[in-house]
Amino acid sequence: MGVITVSRQFGSGGEIIARMVADRLGYLLVNREMIEKKLQQYGIPEPDLALFDERNLAAAEQEGEVEGVNEKRRRYLEALHDLFYSMAISKNLVILGRGGQVLFKDFPPALHVKVIAPYESRVERVCKTYNLDEAAAAFLIAEQDRDRQEYLRHVFGADWFDLSFYDLVVNTGLLGMEEAACLIGKATRLKESMDGVTVRELDEWLLDSAEQPPAAHEKDAAPSPFAHSSEEDFARVLDFYRIKWLYEPRTFPLQWDSEGNVTEAFSPDFYLPEQDLYVELTTQRQKLVWKKNKKVRRLKELYPDVNIKVIYERDYRGLLQKYGIEK
Amino acid sequence: MEKEEHFLEVLITEEEIQKKVASLGEQVSRDYAGSEHLVLIAVLRGSVYFAVDLSRHLTIPYVLDFIGISSYSGGDPLGIVRITKDLDVNIARKNVLLVEDIVDTGLTLNYLLNNLRTRNPLSLRVCIFLDRPARRIVDIPVDYRGFEIPDVFVVGYGLDYNEKYRNLKSIHVLKDKK
């Protein structure tokens, strides 16, 4: 029945702190992944935020579809509300992001925490955590912060910078993770002792039904050498011309969820160390290539110093014909 | 039989080729003016036509030599590229200009350049007649370039298709019928 909501700037270490707090207090950590899975069980998909964008709303208004958009938002909000409160009835929760501070704003025992850090230390932490250079880290921080602001604004109509949502603001530029977790733990205990709210009263706040245990986190399987015969052929051609190569030596994370879990990654097929070049063979039909192109674009944005060359099916066929592998 | 499978379409005319080769010859003569020991190395076999024409426009002394390397064959999976015809001249402390007919993946030229570098030339530059960058895998420093062409299969002016069409005076695109 205890609820701690943690809102944080990307790269502030907020998710690590939330995990530490949850572990120490024996609370259940509720993150975006878990929420998405549970909402899917309700038949509610994660909303496309662009749908709630002001420009889209204005367009929808002109076309008389604003009701439909608002209805979607209302259904999402209701489902989120029901989910949080139904979980809170049986468990103590640490809720990371997802507007917890807004949904539990009027819930007396809830402790609302915001974790911030100076920009430089966020950049440093993101560089270290994700093995990125400074420019890519800055890009990612700007993107993630924007996503969070938009989520709060579009779904809840709330301002991410509005400090009146929070009981406690922790600056990890000044405090270590340990100290921050300790401080939040103490604040929780303090708040508990201050609140004269009875369990019965709390129950009235909380909605029905118990919740399911969290689903296991999915992890990508390790790639096996030469997933495709075309890669083996290509390796032979490289061997022939005495070009050193490594097969899928590096995986580049491309997307993270708000908890910092990698949700999309890309492992180019080959790395040619002498050329400092990654090579990706795309033997898919043109129709499916856009997805890979999107990944390559993203990779170039996040890792501007990485050289990558995509060999498309047509080029590849030409190459094979040239070397007499395929007529 | 094969003739019926393809038809040819002119991509670069004989006049354009001759004009370009003359201008490349002038440029090379200018750049190497005053320097001694220029060795022109033509890669067998396609670039012979281009190298000979180019040499006719040189106004500086040079030595012409040839190098040949094996090509990849899918039936020889364990093979590695090897020199099939080595240079006759010693290029150590000489200015070397490697002349190639076409560069696409850059794999052949990359191997050749690495090989020639080990022979300690004074300088090593690259002159290519056609550049097909769409298929480039290994970047090659190109000092002199005739024409950049799109990703099409071309024949003529030394370039063949199953040993045919080398003698054509223009560059043609070889296209499948229908």
Task: Dump pLDDT digits (tens) for A94-114.
Answer: 998 888 888 887 777 788 999
Q: Which of A240, A279, A309 sits opposite B81 (nearest CB)?
A: A240
Q: Which of B74, B75, B111 sits opposite A241 (nearest CB)?
A: B111
Check B81 against A233: CB less than 8 A apart.
Answer: no
Nearest CA in chain A to B140: A275
Query: Which residues, in sequence order, are bridge partners of residue A246?
Result: A271
Alpha-carbon gap, residue A111 to B24, rounded angstroms: 77
Alpha-carbon gap, residue A50 to A153, rounded angstroms: 12
Residues 6+ apart with CB under 8 A from A314: B151
Where does chain A show beta strands of DSSP type E?
3-8, 28-30, 93-96, 111-116, 168-171, 246-247, 252-256, 262-266, 270-272, 277-281, 308-311
Q: For position A323, what pLDDT does the model report?
A: 63
Domains of chain A and CATH, by start: 3-205 (3.40.50.300), 229-322 (3.40.960.10)
Nearest CA in chain B to A270: B137
Amino acid at A145: D
Domains of chain B and CATH, by start: 15-149 (3.40.50.2020)
A277 inside 8 A of chain B by CB: yes
Q: What is the largest CA-CA distance in chain A?
A: 82
Q: For position A73, what pLDDT does the model report?
A: 75
Q: Map residue A268 onto helix, strand or coil.
A: coil
Q: Map residue A150 onto helix, strand or coil.
A: helix
Active site residues of B: 104
Mean per-residue pLDDT for A135-155?
Answer: 84
Do residues B106 and B137 make contact, with C-beta atoms less than 8 angstroms apart? yes
Q: Write the burial class of residue A26 (CB in 10 Å: 0-12 exposed, 13-18 middle, 19+ buried).
A: exposed
Mean per-residue pLDDT for A228-234?
Answer: 83
Residue whose entry in the numeric block shows the structure tokens 């002119």: B10
Do residues A266 and A295 make contact, with C-beta atoms less than 8 angstroms apart? yes
Task: Dump pLDDT digits (tens) for A35-54.
Answer: 888 877 777 777 666 666 65
Mean per-residue pLDDT for A162-171?
Answer: 87
A317 inside 8 A of chain B by CB: no
Chain B residues touching A243 at Cβ < 8 A = 107, 110, 138
Mean per-residue pLDDT for A288-295?
Answer: 80
Task: Dump pLDDT digits (tens) for B127-147.
Answer: 999 999 888 889 899 999 999
Chain B residues touching A319 at Cβ < 8 A = 105, 135
Check A314 against B107: CB less than 8 A apart.
Answer: no
Q: Inform me whether the pLDDT recorded for A202 exceeds 50.
A: no
Check B151 against A318: CB less than 8 A apart.
Answer: yes
Q: For position A58, what pLDDT does the model report?
A: 67
Is residue B77 very low, low, confident or very high in pLDDT (cuts 50, 70, 90)? very low
Mean per-residue pLDDT for B83-97?
Answer: 94
Nearest CA in chain B to A313: B135
Residues 6+ apart with CB under 8 A from B28: B54, B58, B60, B97, B127, B144
Q: Inform me whether the pLDDT recorded for A220 exceeds 60.
A: no
Site from B76, B83, B137 to mutate, A interface, most A CB atoms within 10 angstroms: B137
Is residue B13 very low, low, confident or very high in pLDDT (cuts 50, 70, 90)? very high
Q: Which of B110, B137, B153 sits opposite A279 (nearest CB)?
A: B137
If one compares A289 and B95, the residue with the highest pLDDT of the two is: B95
Backbone φ and ψ of A60, nearest 5° = -65, -35
Calculate ∠ Cα A88-A148-A61, nearest 5°. Answer: 100
Amino acid at A246: L
Mean per-residue pLDDT for B112-124?
Answer: 94
Nearest CA in chain A to B137: A309
Q: What is chain B's mean pLDDT, rounded?
A: 90
Q: For position B51, what pLDDT does the model report?
A: 97
What is A44-66 written as a DSSP string?
A: -PPP-HHHHSHHHHHHHHHTT-H
Q: For position A50, what pLDDT does the model report?
A: 64
Check A323 against B72: CB less than 8 A apart.
Answer: yes
A233 inside 8 A of chain B by CB: yes
Q: Which of A275, A314, A325 sits opposite B139 (nearest CB)?
A: A275
CA atoms within 13 A on the CB side of A26: 4
CB atoms within 10 A of CB A285: 8
If one compares B161 and B80, the residue with the highest pLDDT of the two is: B161
Site from A239, A240, A322, A325 to mutate, B interface, most B CB atoms within 10 angstroms: A240
What's the N-to-C CA distance of chain B in angstroms? 15
